[in-house]
Amino acid sequence: MITRIVQLSFQEDRVEYFLRFFDNIKEKVNNFPGCLGMRLHQDIHSPGIILTYSYWESEEALEAYRKSETFGNVWPNIKPWFSEKPQAWSVNTYFDGFAEKQKTKKQ
């Protein structure tokens, strides 16, 4: 499993447009084959900074998404709203405190 972290910086007057757009596409991305889940975070001090965290079965699954019609419909729509070039990282999880806490609660 890999985690994909993407930081998007939006023009101040485009943040609400993006959030509405996201509400319309979030289930398509979240349910894409190979996607194990997704989160969207918004910076509390700079609301134009949005981070997506998505979990993928493999790099191949992520790449299939990036080449998909779904991604092809998302990226061109939001790209003009950016105030800075997006940054992205694909990472392996070294420690997952969320999972540890969930285990403890179930016991």
Residue 48 belongs to a domain with what CATH number? 3.30.70.100
**Of 28, 50, 25, the residue nearest 40 (C-alpha):** 50
Position 106 scores a pLDDT of: 75
Position 39 scores a pLDDT of: 97
**Residue 95: DSSP 8-state:** -
Q: Tell me: the pLDDT tens digits for 47-73? A: 999 999 999 999 999 999 999 999 999
Look at strands 35-42 and 87-91 and give their pairing: unpaired
Position 102 scores a pLDDT of: 80
Position 98 scores a pLDDT of: 86
CA-derived radius of gyration, the chain? 15
Which structural domain range is residue 98 located in? 2-106
Judged by phi (left if over 0) then psi (alpha if -120 to 50, else beta), residue 101 lies in alpha
- pLDDT band of 46, cuts 50, 70, 90: very high
The pair phi, psi for residue 68, each rounded to 5°, is -85, 165
Q: Tell me: the pLDDT tens digits for 19-34? A: 999 999 999 999 999 9
Q: Is the pLDDT of residue 84 over 80?
A: yes
How many independent structural domains does the chain possess? 1
